[in-house]
Structure 1
Amino acid sequence: MSGPASPGWLLVALCAATGAYCLLRMRSGVEEQRRAAGGEALMGFGMAVMSVPGTAFTPPPWTWPFYAAVFGGAALRALWAVRTGSHHLHHLVGAAAMVYMAVVMAGSPAPGHGHGHGGAGVPLLNGMLLLYFSGYVLLSGVRLLPVAAVAGGGRAAGWGDRPELARACRLSMGIGMLAMLLTL
């Protein structure tokens, strides 16, 4: 990321912690939660890697097309899954945003410019993504208001079955996506 390194490292830590928690959620007994958690773990770790400050590491040129391909595959998977539920539509938008950022970063001058952040993206597309993720963050924040954590007929909920933690995970990834789009 361009600018001071501290916010970049905080974003890396937030996204990596979110990805790690999503891996824990993959142990859920509910198949749909496991599937969603896998996509969210990919997003969390991908966002963490893309957020590493440019002063710490300058990736080789093949990195950005690789990210575009990985998240393009995730977008296709989400597009296929959209027919079964609306949450997959958000995964589709998130994966497409990651492809967009990777393409913009690939076209930006890399040496000394922090992973290519600060390149000229498509202003209309960037604005639409910022608007979408701003709304998503606000809606996710509202959804964090007290939630009854009931899972599996009254027994204690495991780490993978805590709806309030899953919502907090989605909120933090939305905030991370906003931060990344703002630097584009």
Structure 2
Amino acid sequence: MHEPAMSGWLLMSLCTASGAYCLVRMRSCSGTAREAAGGEALMGFGMAAMALSAAVPAPPSWGWVVFAVVFGCAAAHSAWPARRSAHHLHHLVGCLAMVYMAVAMLPGGRGPAAPEHSGAGVPLLTGVLLVYFAGYVLRSGVRLIPLPSPAGGPLGAAVTWGARPELALACRLSMGMAMLAMLLAL
């Protein structure tokens, strides 16, 4: 994540806004939807912090360890529910991708903080994650295409900000694009 500081600030803003909306969504739902919104808020704020850390001149190396531990714990938390839910599986892949990026950014890792970093190609795991998140972004983007509502459907029904499914999907899309940008910059 060694792109210019401006892209780090833009990623940080996008992910912070997504995380904040997920917190708003948590207030208007319950059960598994509330848990999913909480996981997405964690991802949004964590990605924002990681993007900000990459934008500042010299983030401390212990910060990357903190990111790896936090997202490792989040991955462990979502591992059991991932066996029965595609959404939890996506959270697991996202958390593991964040752990991977944090470890790569450590001095001595394979990221740009390492003195032996060379542009010798994309590591296999980075390539697999890029393909996964590119597919996720395309799938989420297609799901945002509006469909005609059935006759007699609730066209003008009042829906709170936290219960708007298209905004939740737009949040997921923006976080997927941010993950792609972070992986490309790795």
Q: Is the 8 A contact 1:23 1:37 kept in 2?
A: yes
Q: For 1:10 and 1:124, how far apart are their aligned partners in 2?
A: 27
Q: How does 1:44-123 map to 2 (within 5 A)?
A: 44-52=44-52, 54=54, 56-108=56-108, 116=113, 119=117, 123=123
Alignment-derived partner of residue 163 in structure 1: 165
Alignment-derived partner of residue 177 in structure 2: 175
Q: For 1:117 and 1:24, how far apart are their aligned partners in 2?
A: 39
Q: For 1:53 and 1:74, how far apart are their aligned partners in 2?
A: 19
Secondary structure at 1:30 match in 2: coil
Q: For 2:28 and 2:108, how far apart are their aligned partners in 1?
A: 41
* Deviating more after overlay: 172-181 vs 61-70: 61-70
- Give the total of aligned pairs: 174
1:174 Cα shift? 0.2
1:85 Cα shift? 1.5
Q: What one-letter code is carried by the residue in structure 2 that aligns with 1:160?
A: G
Q: Does 1:128 align with 2:125?
A: no
1:122 Cα shift? 7.0
1:158 Cα shift? 1.8
The gaps in structure 2 that reach 5 residues or longer are 150-155
Q: For 1:117 and 1:16, how far apart are their aligned partners in 2?
A: 28
Q: For 2:55 and 2:42, how far apart are their aligned partners in 1?
A: 24
Secondary structure at 1:62 match in 2: helix
Q: Is the 8 A contact 1:117 1:183 kept in 2?
A: no
RMSD: 2.4
Q: What one-letter code is carried by the residue in structure 2 that aligns with 1:4?
A: P
* Deviating more after overlay: 73-82 vs 50-59: 50-59
Deviations 1:66-111 (A, max 9, x none): 11111011111111111331110000000000000000011358xx
Seen in structure 2, the aligned counterparts of structure 1 residues 164 and 108 have a Cα distance that, compared at 3 Å, is farther
* Deviating more after overlay: 118-127 vs 95-104: 118-127
Q: For 2:4 and 2:65, how far apart are their aligned partners in 1?
A: 26
Q: What one-letter code is carried by the residue in structure 1 that aligns with 2:69?
A: A
Q: Is the 8 A contact 2:22 2:38 kept in 1?
A: yes
Seen in structure 2, the aligned counterparts of structure 1 residues 55 and 129 have a Cα distance that, compared at 3 Å, is closer
Alignment-derived partner of residue 151 in structure 1: none
Seen in structure 2, the aligned counterparts of structure 1 residues 138 and 63 have a Cα distance that, compared at 3 Å, is same
Larger Rg: 2
Normalising by structure 2, we get a TM-score of 0.84
Q: Is the 8 A contact 1:71 1:99 kept in 2?
A: yes
The gaps in structure 1 that reach 5 residues or longer are 149-153
Q: Is the 8 A contact 2:8 2:55 kept in 1?
A: no
